[in-house]
């Protein structure tokens, strides 16, 4: 199963815990759909990155997807595909993957693959911006998701595994660059997913490190020395832990309490205790987190 569908399958369980508040989330998602067909960033402008979360949010709540306006927006972005960085390229492919293939531009795969190859690093990974020379773990994760979404084999799994292993930090987590002393929770969670999808069981070894990043009151912190949890770290940690032998029921209550502190009656989630701005990215991470905790 692709990275995209794996998360979506879990996020679809969120309404079990949201109950009547599900419609509030639906209203918020609708409010973020820009007239251009894309979904809004924090400034209210249509954005490829935020559009992936908007479309996924619609799908998670099983809302009718406004296919034609979205396709119109994606076609406008397809025209500038050679200008996109790896993250936006992956977002474009992911958005198309949610739509019927009959709507895909005829040259989508050809131009996407050609642009993807511009970000291949010599160390077996992928970098995210033109001009970089070394692959990052995040770049590997984005590239693998793109592979799943357009059906393109990006190359040797062993080369990518070698790149990922080289990002093991001194504290047992994973970072985006080699030889850093501290790992990061989202990056370590991405490493766990990459290992699993590339056929290695090495991702199970990060379970204890991820659990060590959990705040005493629930939620996960981004890394060593960070005292405040955030929703991105929480969602990615729960997603990674769910694929190990760890029983999420042991930490479900505290994490549900934490999510409750980030929920707003406006229909979405904020990213942390210091954040008061709603956006569809963090709202989708809220759905993903609730989906994982709905089992318990």
Distance CA 19, CA 246 (A): 27
More confident residue, 283 or 122: 283
User: What is the pLDDT confidence band of residue 35, given thresholds at 50, 70 and 90?
Assistant: very high
Closest to 224 in 3D by CA, of 209, 242, 204: 209
User: What 3 state SS string does the chain have?
Assistant: CCHHHHHHHHHCCCHHHHHHHHHHHHHHHHHCECCCCCEECCCCCEEHHHHHHHHHHHHHCCCCCCHHHHHHHHHHHHCCHHHCCHHHHHHHHHHHHHCCHHHCCCCHHHHHHHHHHHHECCCCCECCCCCCCCCEHHHHHHHHHHHHHHCCCCCCHHHHHHHHHCCECCCCCECCCCCCCCCEHHHHHHHHHHHHHCCCCHHHHHHHHHHHCECCCCCECCECCCCCCEHHHHHHHHHHHCCCCCCHHHCHHHHHHHHHHHECCCCCECCCCCCCCCCHHHHHHHHHHHHHHCCC
Mean pLDDT of the chain: 95
Q: How far apart are CA 63 and CA 74, in angstroms?
A: 19
286, 269 contact by CB (below 8 A): yes
Q: What's the whole-number mean pLDDT along residues 75-88?
A: 97
- The band of 123, judged by pLDDT with boundaries at 50, 70 and 90, is confident
Cα–Cα dist 250/238, whole Å: 12
Phi, psi dihedral angles at 169 (to 5 degrees): -85, 170
pLDDT at residue 105 above 80? yes
CATH architecture designation of domain 3-293: Alpha/alpha barrel (1.50)
Q: Give the range among 14-28, 80-94, 151-165, 241-255 with minimum mean pLDDT.
A: 151-165
pLDDT in tens, 173-229: 999 988 788 999 999 999 999 999 999 999 899 999 999 999 999 999 999 889 999
Whether the predicted pLDDT of 245 surpasses 80: yes
Give the burial string for 108-118 (b: 16+ CB within 10 Å, else e): beeebeebbee
How many beta carbons lie within 10 A of that of residue 281, not counting itself? 24
**What is the model's pLDDT at position 278?**
93
């Amino acid at each position: 199963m692709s990275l995209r569908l794996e998360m979506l399958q879990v996020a679809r369980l969120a309404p079990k815990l949201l109950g009547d508040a599900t419609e509030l989330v639906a209203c918020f998602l609708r409010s973020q759909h820009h007239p251009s067909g894309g979904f809004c960033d924090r400034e209210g402008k249509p954005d490829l990155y935020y559009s992936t979360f908007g479309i996924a949010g619609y799908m998670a709540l099983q809302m009718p997807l406004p296919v034609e306006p979205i396709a119109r927006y994606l076609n406008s972005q397809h025209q500038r595909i050679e200008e996109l960085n790896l993250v936006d390229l992956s977002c474009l492919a992911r958005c198309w993957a949610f739509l019927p293939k009959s709507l895909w531009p005829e040259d989508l795969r050809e131009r996407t693959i050609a642009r993807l190859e511009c970000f291949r690093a010599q160390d077996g990974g992928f970098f995210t911006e033109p001009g970089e020379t070394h692959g990052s773990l995040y770049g590997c994760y984005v590239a693998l998701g793109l592979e799943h979404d357009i059906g393109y084999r990006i190359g040797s799994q062993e080369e990518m595994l070698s790149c990922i292993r080289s990002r093991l930090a001194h504290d047992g987590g994973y970072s985006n660059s080699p030889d850093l002393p501290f790992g990061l929770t989202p990056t370590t969670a991405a490493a766990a997913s990459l290992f699993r999808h590339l056929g290695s069981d090495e991702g199970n070894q990060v379970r204890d490190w991820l659990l060590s990043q959990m705040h005493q009151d629930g939620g996960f912190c981004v890394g060593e020395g960070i005292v405040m949890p955030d929703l991105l770290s929480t969602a990615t940690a729960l997603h990674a832990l769910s694929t190990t032998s760890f029983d999420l029921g042991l930490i479900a209550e505290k994490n549900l309490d934490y999510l409750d502190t980030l929920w707003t009656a406006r229909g979405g989630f904020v990213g942390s205790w210091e954040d008061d701005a709603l956006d569809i990215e963090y709202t989708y991470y809220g759905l993903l987190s609730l989906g994982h905790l709905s089992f318990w």
